Amino acid sequence: MENEVISIIVPVYNMEQYLERCVRSVLCQTYKNLEIILVDDGSTDASPKMCDAFAKQDGRIKVVHKENGGLSDARNAGLLAASGAYIGYVDSDDWIEPDMYEKMYRACVENDAQVCICRYFSEYADRTLDGGSGACVPLTKEELLRIYIGGHAQYVIYNSVWSKLFRRSLVENTEFPKGRNSEDIVYTTRAFCRLERAVYLDECLYHYVLDREGSIMNVSRGERMFRDELPFWREHIALIRTLVSNRLGDFAAYHFWRRLLFYYIDFRNAQRAGDRTAKEYAWRIVGEIRSDRKEIRRVYCSGSVPKGDRVRMRMFLMSPSLYAFVVRLYEKFVIPIRG
């Protein structure tokens, strides 16, 4: 079974506190035919020396030292240095289960799949969230994209690259956008649009750390959302239209607009809680939706959008403030009764 090299790319920037745990979890993998690429992204703490020390301990480790360019740039540098038939990513403040890559590689081989996706543990300071049935689920491109775009009651398939093992040919010549956040969206979407078959492991194999002080996810969301996340979701829709079909592109657009409605309510709630910047962001969401009014009407009148969502969008386009008021009433009175 272990006849192909898996390249594991680990971007490192000032991670001396977490690096030992991360690298040890990769070195202890039951799948041994690994190429482990530690990309020191211009760290100013002890991380560079730690990377070099790890390389001396295990010949499978390759260290790339470079000037600081951000997470995307570090991942790109790692991919350039990689020689494996499969590519995996591990963030240096996270860690992985000992059999993660053995299970993901075996699932790819046995299902003739170009990518494997696993579930993950959500690691908070005071608790760990997990789940999954342990099932191994083969997926066609259409099935995978529908779950990825629209979500699923059981299967967790998000855009994060660290929960995936990619066949190298799927991501070759694909770069993460340098200097941007939410960079996984386009990278993963492009890979999913290119593949023929995928496999999903409904088992937690990756430990994703949330709430770490200074992490990208804890940076104020507003400007990052409008600068990076929303443009990437729009590119995600365009890729699906171009590489797969207009029908799935409409499906992705519908879920993008649903996402914007949720963001609008989030900002309105933050505004009511005293966040002075939230009002501006709420109205910028209004502008995003209104700029798509013609396309929204086309997609929402196609017969594929549930009636409740059609009513909500019609109300929002008529009056965002009325929409927010109705949502607040619903959350205050209806949801408690149903609960």
What mean pLDDT do residues 169-197 have? 93
Per-residue pLDDT tens digits for 91-109: 999 999 999 999 999 999 9
What mean pLDDT do residues 160-175 have? 95
For residue 251, which of 114, 155, 144, 116 has the smallest C-alpha distance?
A: 144
Parallel/antiparallel/unpaired status of strands 6-12 and 34-41: parallel
What Rg do the C-alpha atoms of the chain give, in angstroms?
Answer: 21
Q: In this predicted structure, what is the pLDDT of residue 276?
A: 84
Per-residue pLDDT tens digits for 199-231: 999 999 999 998 655 554 444 678 889 999 999
CB contact set of 324 (below 8 Å; sequence gap of 6+): 264, 265, 268
Please tell me the total number of residues recorded for the chain in this structure.
339
* Global model pTM greater than 0.95: no
193 and 253 inside one domain: no
Contact 8, 86 (CB under 8 A): no
Q: Which segments of 42-155 are extended strands (E)?
A: 61-66, 86-89, 95-96, 115-123, 128-129, 136-140
Number of structural domains, the chain?
2
d(CA 205, CA 218): 23
Per-residue pLDDT tens digits for 277-305: 889 999 999 999 999 999 999 999 988 89
In a domain? residue 231: no
Q: In this predicted structure, what is the pLDDT of residue 113?
A: 98
- Structural domain range at position 286: 245-338
Q: In this predicted structure, what is the pLDDT of residue 255?
A: 98
In a domain? residue 232: no
DSSP 266: H
d(CA 85, CA 92): 22
Query: What share of the chain has pLDDT > 70, as a percent?
Result: 94
194 and 273 inside one domain: no
Query: What share of the chain has pLDDT > 90, as a percent?
Result: 84
In a domain? residue 233: no
CA 98 to chain centre: 22
In a domain? residue 221: no
Mean pLDDT across the chain: 93
Any idea which residue has 């993998």 for tokens? 29
Q: Is the pLDDT of residue 339 over 60?
A: no
Q: In this predicted structure, what is the pLDDT of residue 74?
A: 97
